[in-house]
Structure 1
Amino acid sequence: MRCVRLLLGCSSAAELLGTVLAEGPVWITGEGSALYLLDSAGMLRLTASHGLPDWAHERYGLVDPAGELPAAVALRLRRPYLLSPEHTSVDYPNRNAGLGTGMVAVVALPLVVDERPIGVLALALAHRGTVPGRDLDVLETIAGACAHRLHHLLDHGPAHAEPRPADAGPGSAHADARPAHAEPRPPRRTEPGPAPSHPLLSLAVRAAGHGAFERDLVTGESHWDAAAFALAGRPVAPDGAAPELERIVHPEDLPDVRAALAEALAGGGRYRIGYRMLRPGGRVVRVEESGEVMLDVHGRPVRMAGLIADVDHRPAREVGSGPDPAGARTALLLSLTRALSRAVTVRDVTAAVTDVAGPAFGADSIVLDLVDEGRLLPVSHTVYGGPRRAELTRLADLSAPVMQDSLARSAPLFSEPGNRPRATGAPAAWAVLPLVASGRQVGSCLITFAAERAFSREDRTLYSAFAGILAQSLERARLYDTHHHRAGELQRAMLPRTLPRLPGIASAARYLPSTEGMQIGGDWYDLLKLPDGRIGLVIGDVQGHNAEATAVMGQLRSGLRAYATDGHDPAATLARTSRLLAELDTELFATCLYLTLDPADGGLTAARAGHPAPVRIAADATAVELELPGGPPLGVDPGQAYPLATGRLGAGETLLAYTDGLVEDREEDYDESVQRMLGGLELWARQTGPGRIGPAPALERLADLLTLNVTERRSRPDDVALLLLHRVVSPA
């Protein structure tokens, strides 16, 4: 979403390509990426590029859309066209292309708006095998944002602006803000007068004949196009800002609209609402609002966009047949209750309040304070960043006395329109709700509004009921957080606090708990200094995500460490640890990898008990799994012997050991996930390069990159552990 937001504000094709490479997913490599635009002769002209050699500019600088090059095929098919590494090596055998530049896969994405072709975006990807469907969705979203921004630049750019060269980054070709041979066109005119061009409205430009709207749910900014203002019978606002919901929805319909919005915000996706829209003079028109609530990678609503359509094309004369306001308020409260019931942690509750309750109430901001050791501490800012976070912190400071007073009296407070001068920076209207559960003070909630409003008796009852539900949800969430904080402390106590500094190697490790169940598990790692000067690397995964798995993990870690430091080789160590697990009073089993490394000559000995094979990142930037024969998981067959394998880790090479939570994805085949990880490792190795960065900082960055994809998933059903080991090149 950040990438799309930045793309919709770019001012040139070169800036668009540079933004995709800088802000897009890390598996877009940037090597050999290009952006083509159709010129006045109907040819695809290379307008911006990154990492293309000179010969590629000469050979592919101008592409015939009727030809068979990927850009032409994608434009004709109107869908992404993928080239695998095998295709690039066969169809483009020049060593300066394909695998020679680090391209692992190539995708050509057509740029089309309102059935009008604009150009093609070609990107190199760090995918060795099949590109997952979710990654294709991301690519098409990025291409759509680029297409709409280019469409705007072509139609609304300065009529006499001269093309200026620009770079998308190192190795870029010259790029212009518009195609080199495109004729300038005057801006389009829309009656009744052009609305200000807001970049976020590009998501709804296809809404010919209907009003288009967009709302940023993070900042609270809403925008209409000119057709929407015309539908409401209102003049176009100078900045395109939409009027508040209370001013355009008939009062009898407003509770129903808020309830429907709460449902849409809680689940995301498409929605449809019918209501009566108020026009100046008291007239109304029946409209249907259809749109989509867009979620970020964590499942939180961040944007709404869609259309407002005139249903009967004539004003309604009577409004006495509206819905039951009491029933609508009940429906709204039920929707908010459902949203809060799905929240598990205090952060989840806070997110539900800001994401669902705030927009449903039409609030400008919501400040949530929790009681901590007799004081009120704000927590709302924890779900925001940037200017929004600073604004919430300012509001919390400004409202602290009144929130404390409301909680002390256990009585809600509401502002009254025009009853007293407003303090500098204070909101136009507000409600302060004390949060009390089972007689205990939980916190206080401030709801602010951008315009003055009167709170009816029904409104005050609704807010008070919401406060009671919110207080119960927060009390439950705090107990959950306390329980898991203690469980997390147990988990951390079982793992090494720091990795030991050992001669001849650099190391880095990461552990991420599961986000499902108890959020603790049985993954562990260890780095051992053995008596003979060798180094031991251990990584394992006990079945389950509960306190028992964590306790068993601690016993196995201690037992394996004792067997290893007694001088047993990896095979014998795993055999003894397997017998130990079988003797414990548990039905759990565990996978494990144990290997030893001699830092002096790189000699490796290893054994594996049902665990993923480690990965070697060689000096030539190739990443391959080590061929290690394995045995059953620990505890499954205590009499089973484990085969011992030997090998060598060269100076300057890196070893990655990990648990399956790092790559396992419910939406993707496991082998494909592993291959994609290997492609990413090769990309990192090429970009880092020998001697360009010290091994310790490079390993820390690699550990962050490996866990980045995991942390961006909506859920993490398994915990994750990884351990990186780099054999340092000895100084000459």
Structure 2
Amino acid sequence: MGMGERHARHWRTAGAERVSAERRRLLSVVGDELWGIELLRFAIQQAVAELAGLGGLVHLGAPGYGGGLRLVVTSGLPSAFAQAWERIEGSGPLAPARALRDGAFVWAALANVVPGMREPDTTAGGSAAWSLPAGTAMASVPILGPGGPVGALSVVTVSSEEPSAGQRAFLDTLGRWAGERLSKPSAPTQGPGITGCHEQPTGSPLPQDLPAVGTWDWDLRTGDVIWNDAMLTVFGLDQDTFDGRIETWTGIVHPDDLPWVLADMDEAIRLGRMYSTEYRLCRPDGTTRWVRSRGRLVVDENGEPARMVGTLWDVTKTHETLEKVTESRTTNSERAAVERASRISQLTRALAEAVTVRDVVDATADHILPSFGAAGLILAYLEGDHLRPVGFTGYSKEFLDRISRIPTASGIPLAEVLRHRNPTFVTSAEEYVERYPTTAELPAAGGKQAWAFLPLIASGRPVGSCVVSFAEPRQFTGEERNLLTALSGLVAQAMERARLYDREHTRAKELQRGLLPRELPSLPAVTAAARYLPAGKDMEVGGDWYDVISLSADRVAIVIGDVMGHGVSEAVTMGRLRTAVRTLADLELPPDELLSHLNDLVSELGDDFYATCLYLVYDPTTRACVLTRAGHPPPAVVHPDGSVLFPDADPNSPLGAATPPFDTVEMQLPEGSLLVLYTDGLVESSNLDIDQGMAHLAKALSGWVSGTLPGTPFRHENHPDATDPAGLRCAECLEALCDSLTTTLLPARQGTADDAALLVVRTHALPGEDMASWPLPEHPKAAGQAREHVRAQLSAWDLDDLSVTTELLASELVSNVIRHAKGPIQLRLLRSDVLTCEVSDGSLTTPRMRRAAETDEGGRGLQLVSAISHRWGTRYTPTGKCIWTEQSLRPSAPALLPEPSGLDLYDLLGD
């Protein structure tokens, strides 16, 4: 060996000794917060670094351990290699077993001992253990507890030289240090779901009968799981009763442990880490068992999480032994674990019941802030390059508006934790200013002195941030940091679920509001008011609806309905039905025929769609009301004297299940009567049958109407006796009645499971002086007589400015009847907000407007009617048909046809 080589070797040796000394010093300053698996992982990392190895392993067992040694921690090694070393014989030739038996350092080439191993699991990649490079060796030292060896720490290395004396001494020190730390009584007890390694009683070896190891394979996309027989045995199941679903596993995990287990598994999937945890099982036979589970993530060809595979074994006996040792002691850490489990259980239940984002904010504030003595909470969503606070407590609205305007790129900690996906704990305002100088003014503005900034990660995706703040500076313990981090995962899942609900619920409500009438029309024959009350806050939108539709001759169609069920599809169906009713009403169909068409429409929607409906038509010229209903509650009819009755008629079956024809009821309504239409949500609930509800409605109506404005004849705005205050007071009374009924019948709306609609209508009869009618002969001279009747009546009504156009309309309609129909012929004029001119006959043939050719002598009459009238149409009557026209009487309406000067238009038309 040359002089240069000796100097280089001396330099390397001296450097290694200095590093070893630093490692020993590092062991002496490690605090008590490092324990269990993390302690062993730390020991492996130090050992691998000392020997410049490939990786390391820790096995636990005891001398003479008939069941073998079990792998609990690996570092730096492929999973295939680790699985081949999962279980080794305690009496075998492998280095860990020898180190455990002899209680001393062992150095062995792996090529010399691999043939002596138990059969590795080649299906899991065990063959990888055979492909190590030549010269691969393993150095193992026992982990020495107060009662003797409890395991072995091993390092895999490719060095052909055995470790030096200094390296061996360091490994021995490391093994004793790890054993002492594991057996310390003051080591923190690991609560349910926390990865850890349980200490052995002083002087007591590990259990002599290791149970069989179960294996599991979970498909993350489908939720299917595959278990071996040992796994089924541990869970108390068999192949015949196991359905292969992940829900079966979550159903057996102890409910107090499930949040921790799910949080650990979610973290393992999110970060790609090994999964290792302990938890309790509530088996079908009623027994409770402790198990330890280890697993790893398997990704697909795109690098996306696809499966988790792992092992599981029963550690109940270990826990029973520990319980006997610690039975007489209740440490602060144990009490904290109990409190923590209680807090998590309460918060989990509250978050599970939370439906809206407001619910999640309230549950988080009610359960997290008191547990930590916190003074403030902020929950914020990530929207583009800003964070939008969606819930807060302990802060002012101005402060929240201020931080919502700060871009995420400015370094605000709420955004930083989302970018790094790791929580940040700031113990004082000084530390905040030092770490985040660009937003140094925020601590003073918010009035807080310490903060826990927590990222909200749901299904591996950042959705927002949570801030738990304190009024005084605070040092966060490891327990508090872990607990807050775990709780943020629960809050994130609940927030994401609630946000989706809020978004869909808002869209559904907007859709429903858009499908209901924005305002009810102002009509001569009725004054109406309505209310729609959604179901309780946790319920979806419903399908209740109502409408008031203007028909010809001042008649009014009044309709109310209820699509059975709740949800967007029901709201859409409601909109389709309302549109269909308006379309059919424009055709002037009788109520029973209209419901028959509506029944066909609902039947075509499918077997799962049903709806109830009540449709009535009120004629102010006769005060007649014709109604029919399909499975809907009857209307309440309130007479001016305050008496209330419900028309006795067959309700028929609901739309979608009915068989036409529908029964109808006709009744006469005194002037000023009230029609109260409603859906079942107003009078029926889980603790109130519909008959009782209708009785309550009748009582509320009779008591209210007696003290209200009595019925007054309707006067249109052009009538000389019209009084606007009366009409205004009538509308105000109906609005007040709606409020009174909903308050009386639904005093606690939040608890209802069904929506409700209420439509209150006061009827008005058309005064006799506003109606005029004349019979006409079936003779060409009837047109001239019609013009004379019109001219005289409009002069009496002081409507001379409409005389020319109305005479022309009447003449054309009568002439059309003479040419194409048959008598008897009747002419009628009605005065209200519009001037209605009707000509009826005994024929069922309806006129049809056509395009006349330039050479045709006729065919232009209906075109003229359409041009000079506001609207026109045809309806069938019991004796034939009626053709009607309307002209507006509003002062602002321009004359449609100016009266000619110096020439009588009818001189051209003839008699």
TM-score by length of 2: 0.40
Higher RCO, 1 or 2 (CA under 8 Å, sep at least 6)? 1
Structure with max Cα Rg? 2
Q: Would you tell me which structure has more helix in proportion to its own residues?
A: 2
